[in-house]
Structure 1
Amino acid sequence: MTLYYVGIDGGGTSCRARIRDEAGNFIGEAKSGSANILLGVDVAMTSIIDAITQAARLGGLTEKDFPNMHVGLALAGAEQKSAWHSFMQQTHPFATIVLNTDAYGACVGAHNGDDGAIMIAGTGSCGIYLSAGQQHVVGGREFPISDQGGGAVMGLRLIQQVLLAEDGIVEKTPLAKHVIAHFNNDVDQIVEWSKNALPRDYGQFSPAIFQHAERGDSLAISMLKQTASDVEMFLIALNRKGATRICLMGSIAERIKAWLSPPVQNWVVEPQFDAIEGALMFAGKAEHNLY
């Protein structure tokens, strides 16, 4: 009987599955829908089974092989204890499942199972340090109360500055003009938009901030300096907990490296593997369950 190991990286947008056999040979990889367990544990399980089914078929396997599969799950929302327990109480067709957060999977993969830390900054942000089987987390309590260094907070601060520029309080730079043009040069449209805007809606302006900073825009430069300061704050916090090897992950973190101070840049290393590979590393190992 051949055993198989499955790694899952699941978030609010997609669920990615990768299957290897017990010798480490690649079997297949596929993607399905949302697997953030806070959006529904049943929805997440459906996406997981769907992604594994697709990946299995690519490698010539079927649902009959599911009982021989050990599944490692790196899922968004797993940090919420009640959601974790609700998910784990579901029935499933696999040999075992082990559930931890997507950040945990990313950190395990980034350091190939060794101790180390990651700083994720995309739309949101979160830092995690794994040491001697313990995980230490900084930030990551979601927008708008946390997630400094992420694209959503960048976008929120930008909108605030644009409104100040419209009031004649601060300079109206090309970046500010670009944003107000997005709203048809109508402040009232910004106000209405803000009432229902999601983190990703604020985060959509982060590419423009980087682009205008390259052109010397003073507002864009100040935005990136603040974001770099935010990221450094978390990196320093991780270092104080013992981390000396930190991987920057996510669209903002990877681009902000050049804006970090040289001492902090010395802690930054390149990730070795991705979150799916991290999940594969703890598949079948119950000690990696978050709760």
Structure 2
Amino acid sequence: MTDPIRYFVGVDGGGTSCRARITDINGHILGEAKTGSANILLGADIAMASIIDAIATAATIAGLNEESYSSMSVGLALAGAEQQSAWYEFMAQPHPFGAVTLNTDAYGACLGAWGGGDGAILIAGTGSCGILLKDSEQHVVGGREFPISDQGGGAVMGLRLIQQTLLAHDGIRPITPLAEHVLSHFNHDIDAIVSWSKSARPCDYGQFSPAIFAEAYRGDSLGIELLNQTAADIEMWMKALVKRGAEQICLMGSIAERIQPWLIPPMQQRVATPMGDAMDGALAMARSSHNLYPL
């Protein structure tokens, strides 16, 4: 006999971090925590470990322990869940929870942003994805993972920065303070950059995005160039959503939330303020838990 559900858990997992929020059945927040990457394309077992770690930490804050897991319905809004084989591989893993439902991080963010109703979001953190929920249908643009997609996300920004820094090292473009920042990070060892790139993950490239913003605001020409390109990428996704019927779009994620001043005015006018975040959306998923592939 399964235990009755007494807690709802929302988990927002991307390429850089995994956040968990536990509430009681009345929606009161009991605990929150943050751990490492939970992109299921980087490994279902790795993602599950991050998720359990985040929930365990949040549970400790809430005064709960492992005995409470079977009373938890968990909604997972995870990067990589749009790939069907990855979805099934992840869901085939054993877990200690009462119920688990899995959808994409973009879907969770959209549910949270629009209070569970119709609407559109463009999420750009380490990666990027746009989604429109309209008339019980999902319309998705992008989100096919780094490096073949995710334009407008931090990983692509970091990749472009590395590329341009190498050009600067070769004397093809000026070495700006931003390029110098990258070179100093690798102790001016180009071979070290090449070796690092062979195993670098999206979050490793994304770690350079704060420096891009900071140097761009100081007038660094490379930083400005990269942010203009990122803004153009995000405008591309926004226009695709508008074409599919979106009127207003919430910008969510560490990059999207900071790029708005760099957007052209017509796109700035399309930006809406989200009602909630991806963990709110994941909690909505937890309250209507099911185990069917959603796309």
Q: Taking structure 2 as the reference length, what is the TM-score of the superposition?
A: 0.84
- Corresponding position of 2:172: 169
Amino acid at match of 2:78: L
Check if 1:121 corresponds to 2:114. no
Q: Kindly, what percent of the aligned residue pairs are identical?
A: 66
Amino acid at match of 2:236: M
Which of the two has higher C-alpha Rg?
Answer: 1
Flag the 1:159–1:61 CA change in 2: closer, same or farther, 3 A. closer
Give the conservation status (yes or no) of the 8 Å contact 2:11–2:74. yes
- Corresponding position of 1:236: 239
Give the conservation status (yes or no) of the 8 Å contact 1:97–1:284. no
SS at structure 2 position matched to 1:196: coil
Per-residue deviation, 1:261 = 0.5
SS at structure 2 position matched to 1:221: helix
SS at structure 2 position matched to 1:278: helix
Per-residue deviation, 1:7 = 1.7
Per-residue deviation, 1:137 = 1.5
Flag the 1:51–1:210 CA change in 2: closer, same or farther, 3 A. closer
Check if 1:246 corresponds to 2:252. no
Flag the 1:178–1:86 CA change in 2: closer, same or farther, 3 A. closer
- Corresponding position of 2:216: 213
Amino acid at match of 1:143: F
Give the conservation status (yes or no) of the 8 Å contact 2:14–2:126. no
- Corresponding position of 1:84: 87
Amino acid at match of 1:199: P
Per-residue deviation, 1:276 = 1.4
CA distance in structure 2 between the aligned counterparts of 1:49 and 1:197, rounded to whole angstroms = 24
Per-residue deviation, 1:231 = 1.0
Per-residue deviation, 1:35 = 3.9
Amino acid at match of 1:145: I
Residues 121-144 of structure 1 show CA distances to partners (whole Å, capped at 9, x for unaligned) of: 222222122222222221122222
Residues 50-73 of structure 1 show CA distances to partners (whole Å, capped at 9, x for unaligned) of: 544554454455555544433222
Flag the 1:137–1:231 CA change in 2: closer, same or farther, 3 A. same
- Corresponding position of 2:280: 277
Give the conservation status (yes or no) of the 8 Å contact 1:5–1:20. yes
Give the conservation status (yes or no) of the 8 Å contact 2:13–2:105. yes
CA distance in structure 1 between the aligned counterparts of 2:55 and 2:172, rounded to whole angstroms = 55
Per-residue deviation, 1:36 = 3.6
Amino acid at match of 2:237: F
Per-residue deviation, 1:253 = 1.4
Per-residue deviation, 1:157 = 2.2
Check if 1:196 corresponds to 2:199. yes
Q: Taking structure 1 as the reference length, what is the TM-score of the superposition?
A: 0.85
Q: 2:158 aligns with which of 155, 160, 172?
A: 155
5+ long unaligned stretches in structure 1: none
SS at structure 2 position matched to 1:235: helix
CA distance in structure 2 between the aligned counterparts of 1:166 and 1:47, rounded to whole angstroms = 38
CA distance in structure 2 between the aligned counterparts of 1:168 and 1:44, rounded to whole angstroms = 41
Give the conservation status (yes or no) of the 8 Å contact 1:129–1:137. yes
Moved more, 195-204 or 275-284: 195-204
Residues 78-136 of structure 1 show CA distances to partners (whole Å, capped at 9, x for unaligned) of: 22212322333445454432211122111111111111122122222221222222222
SS at structure 1 position matched to 2:121: strand
Flag the 1:258–1:90 CA change in 2: closer, same or farther, 3 A. same
Residues 170-192 of structure 1 show CA distances to partners (whole Å, capped at 9, x for unaligned) of: 33333333433444444444334
Amino acid at match of 2:230: T
CA distance in structure 1 between the aligned counterparts of 2:136 and 2:221, rounded to whole angstroms = 45
- Corresponding position of 1:131: 134
Give the conservation status (yes or no) of the 8 Å contact 2:5–2:73. no
State the Cα RMSD in Å: 2.9
CA distance in structure 2 between the aligned counterparts of 1:49 and 1:195, rounded to whole angstroms = 29
Residues 3-50 of structure 1 show CA distances to partners (whole Å, capped at 9, x for unaligned) of: 432222234555433232332233333445554433444554455455
SS at structure 2 position matched to 1:6: strand
Amino acid at match of 1:263: P
- Corresponding position of 1:264: 267
Give the conservation status (yes or no) of the 8 Å contact 2:109–2:123. no
